[in-house]
């Protein structure tokens, strides 16, 4: 499955507007539901706390240590494992 990219420059502007506005991440997830499974979208939302912890470190000076990095790696491995399982399931369904 190839990635779907905006065909026009103004569509990139809309994506930037959505990314900069608060709460629009949920709109993007809802838009993606027709393109990915609900399971994969839910797994990907697991990255939200990871990204929030990084921003908290840079913006508010929250502590960030090796245990945080280990937790991030575990969560990213789980997301990637879910993505791979999704690809395998789609291939089996198409066969």
User: Is the same domain home to 67 and 25?
Assistant: no
**What confidence tens digit (pLDDT) does each residue in 17-56 have?**
766 776 666 777 777 778 877 777 777 777 778 788 888 8
> Cβ of 46: how many Cβ atoms within 10 Å?
13
- Are both 24 and 43 inside the same structural domain? no
Indicate if 55 and 95 belong to the same structural domain: yes
pLDDT of residue 50: 79
pLDDT at 43: 74
- In SS3 terms, 46-83 reads as CHHHHHHHHHHHHHHCCCCCHHHHHHHHHHHHHHHHHH
Tell me which residue range forms the domain holding 76: 37-95
Domain check: are 26 and 66 in the same one?
Answer: no
Please tell me whether residues 52 and 92 are part of one structural domain.
yes
Count CB neighbours of 43 within 10 A. Answer: 20
Number of domains in the chain: 2
Q: Tell me: pLDDT of 7 over 80.
A: no
CA angle centred on 79, ends 78 and 84, rounded to 5°: 95
**What pLDDT score was predicted for residue 22?**
67
What pLDDT score was predicted for residue 60? 83
């Amino acid at each position: 499955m190839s990635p779907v990219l905006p065909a026009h420059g103004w569509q990139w502007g809309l994506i930037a507007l959505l990314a900069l506005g608060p709460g629009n991440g949920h709109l993007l997830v809802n838009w993606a539901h027709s393109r990915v499974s609900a399971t994969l979208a839910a797994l990907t939302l697991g990255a939200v706390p990871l990204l929030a912890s990084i921003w908290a470190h840079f913006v508010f000076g929250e502590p960030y240590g090796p245990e945080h990095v280990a937790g991030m790696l575990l969560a990213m491995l789980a997301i990637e494992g879910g993505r791979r399982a999704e690809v395998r399931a789609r291939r089996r369904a198409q066969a």
